[in-house]
Chains A and B, each alone.
Chain A
Amino acid sequence: MNTETQTQTQTVTVGDLWSWLETVVDPEIPVLTILDMGIVRRIEIREDDRVTVSEFEGRTNTDASVNPENAQILVYITPTYTGCPAMNMIAAHISIELATHGFSDISVREVLQPAWTTEWIPESAREKLREYGIAPPEQASRVERLLFSDVSVACPRCDSRNTEKLAEYGSTACKALYRCKDCLEPFDYFKCH
């Protein structure tokens, strides 16, 4: 957590906002930031009569300046799962993080379209998941294909594909519980979504 507080009014850029959001982690999977997860879809900054929109994809308009004193910040997030209890906490953490940088008018809003997908998790984050002991999603989330087609999941510890599913739902709705038949360790598998 960044404890440094801005004591004097100074203009920051949209890029700074993104880098501060990069410090907010998923409370269920603390090795991933909410940007790794693709949860933050865009930031909208309303200042006087000016509206600046910065999209997550391609990080647009990062050079635009923002004045924390009078800017209204809207952060659009998308839920991983509809009933995910982590969403409220994530929204609170976003507000707190931006507040420590001098912003006072912060709203976090939910968007459902396009629906969140595990395809948004980049390779770097998949590697972080593996290191943390969670097998990353195996394949593109084509809804029909997933029905009754059991995917082969690699063990995050020994990389063996000789694994079996123990339960469709693991420690959270987004994970299934697997066991490696070679190293015998149970592990969480982040399901395709």
Chain B
Amino acid sequence: MRDFLLLLADNTQILGHRLGEWCGHGPELEIDMAMTNLALDLIGQSRNYYQYAAELEGAGRTEDDLAYLRDAREFRNCLLVEQPNGDFAHTVARNFLFDSWHYFFLQALCQSNDERLAAIAGKSLKEVTYHLRWSSEWVIRLGDGTEESHSRIQDAFDNLWTFRGELLTPAPFETEAASAGYGVDLHAIRPLVEDRLSDILAQATLQRPEDGWMQSGGKTGRHSEHLGYILAEMQYVQRAYPNSVW
């Protein structure tokens, strides 16, 4: 259960951190605020999972220890969420790939036989409904927009497509979670995710990239070089000044 919780916690924490990087740099004030609000939701969700994981460990560690004092190899997040922001189209495409999976994943997680997980999922789902709506609208607007916005978001999907396979490919601890009834059967949600992707890409007049070879490894701790840089920034204060508090 601990690995499964950390997967959920790390996914939301790292994507939240990436979106937070846009703070003050958004293409428009409204977009800037939207992205930081998304970040806030995601980091809030990650706290729920970290708190639960820390309690389960029963080793006296807190949510902060889990977020700030683990090394890259111990992070369970998918490679997709640690990919750099790139331009706005790249961020939108990354978020849409994540949201269209996250939404159906949480829907299924609401049926978890673990009451606390089901409660966190139910709460998060309401927020993620808006996340999916936001990223879907921007995919459509950019894809069906100008020649430049179209080509930028098409490029973004072409580049990021290789990272989407991992979302729907269970790590051993996810298979265990699904069969024990507290996790999610990724095979069961796949058709829902695929339909949503195809539908939005079609509305956006975008070409759905071929499903070729897919990257994997994040869930078992083999990350791209980007995660190290994220952690260097995110964990800097706790590493430099251990146990410092606000």
Q: Say yes or no for B41: interface residue by CB 8 A criterion.
A: yes
B132 at the interface (CB under 8 A from A): yes
Query: B23-76: which residues lie under 8 A (CB-CB) from chain A?
Result: 30-31, 33-34, 37-45, 47-48
Binds B, one of A15-23, A40-48, A93-101, A167-175: A167-175
CB proximity to B under 8 Å, residues A140-162: 141, 143, 146-148
Please state if B134 and A83 are interface contacts (CB–CB under 8 Å): no
Kindly state the separation between the CA atoms of A13 and B133 in the bound complex, as whole angstroms.
46
Most buried by B among A79, A114, A146, A169: A169
Min CB distance A174 to B, Å, is 9
What is B's interface to A at a CB cutoff of 8 Å?
A: 30-31, 33-34, 37-45, 47-48, 115-116, 118-120, 122-127, 129-130, 132-134, 136-137
The answer to whether A141 touches B126, judged by C-beta atoms less than 8 angstroms apart, is: yes
Whether B122 pairs with A83 at a CB distance below 8 angstroms is no
Given contacts A82-B44, A82-B127, A112-B120, contact A147 B37 (CB under 8 A): no
A109 to B92, CA, bound (A): 36
Partner of A113, one of B44, B115, B136: B115
- Summarize B's interface: helix, strand, loop or mixed: helix
Main secondary structure of the interface of A (DSSP, over half): loop
Which chain B residues border A191 with CB–CB below 8 Å?
130
User: Roughly how many angstroms separate A173 CA and B33 CA in the complex, as a whole number?
Assistant: 9
Contact A148 B133 (CB under 8 A): yes
B126 and A143 contacting across the interface, CB-CB below 8 Å = yes
Determine how close the nearest CB of chain A comes to the CB of B153; give it in whole angstroms.
18
Q: Do B48 and A82 touch (CB < 8 A)? A: yes
Q: Is the CB of B136 within 8 A of A148?
A: yes
A132 sits at the interface (CB 8 A): no
Instruction: Report B-chain residues with C-beta under 8 Å of the C-beta of A167.
Output: 30-31, 33-34
In the assembled complex, the Cα of A190 lies from the Cα of B127 at a distance in Å of: 14
Q: How far is the CA of A113 from the CA of B126 in the complex (A)?
A: 13
Is A169's CB under 8 angstroms from B126's CB? no
Instruction: Find out whether the CB atom of A168 lies under 8 angstroms from the CB atom of B41.
Output: no
Does A59 belong to the interface (CB within 8 Å)? Answer: no
B114 to chain A, nearest CB (A): 12
Contact B129 A83 (CB under 8 A): no
Contacting B37 at CB < 8 Å: which of A143, A146, A172? Answer: A172
Give A72-111 interface residues, CB cut-off 8 Å to B. Answer: 79, 81-85
Q: Which residue of A lies closest to B103 (CB)?
A: A147
Whether a CB of chain B sits under 8 angstroms from the CB of A1 is no
Contact of A83 among B40, B126, B136 (CB under 8 A): B40
Q: List 13 A-B contacts (CB under 8 A).
A: A83-B41, A83-B42, A113-B115, A115-B119, A115-B126, A143-B129, A146-B129, A146-B130, A168-B34, A169-B34, A169-B130, A170-B33, A193-B126
Query: Which residues of chain B have C-beta atoms less than 8 A from A79's C-beta?
Result: 44, 123
Q: How far is the CA of A167 from the CA of B141 in the complex (A)?
A: 13
Q: Judge whether A166 is part of the interface by a CB distance below 8 angstroms.
A: yes
Q: How far is A191 from B123 in the complex, measured between Cα atoms in Å?
A: 15
Additional A-B contact list (10), CB under 8 Å, known A112-B120, A114-B122, A169-B30: A82-B44, A82-B124, A82-B127, A83-B40, A113-B123, A143-B126, A147-B129, A168-B137, A169-B38, A191-B130
A177 engages B30 (CB within 8 Å): yes
Q: Quote the shortest CB–CB distance from A178 to chain B (angstroms).
A: 12
| A83 B45 Cβ-Cβ under 8 A | yes
- Give every chain B residue within 8 A of A116 (Cβ-Cβ): 123
The closest CB in chain B to the CB of A166 belongs to B30
Given the complex of chains A and B, what is the CA–CA distance between A88 and B30 in angstroms? 26
Residue with the greatest number of chain B CB neighbours at <10 A, chosen from A82, A114, A116, A173: A82
**How far, in whole Å, are A169 and B26 apart by their CA atoms in the complex?**
13
Kindly list chain A residues whose C-beta atoms are within 8 Å of the C-beta of B132. Answer: 147
Task: Determine whether the beta carbon of B41 is less than 8 Å from that of A173.
Answer: yes
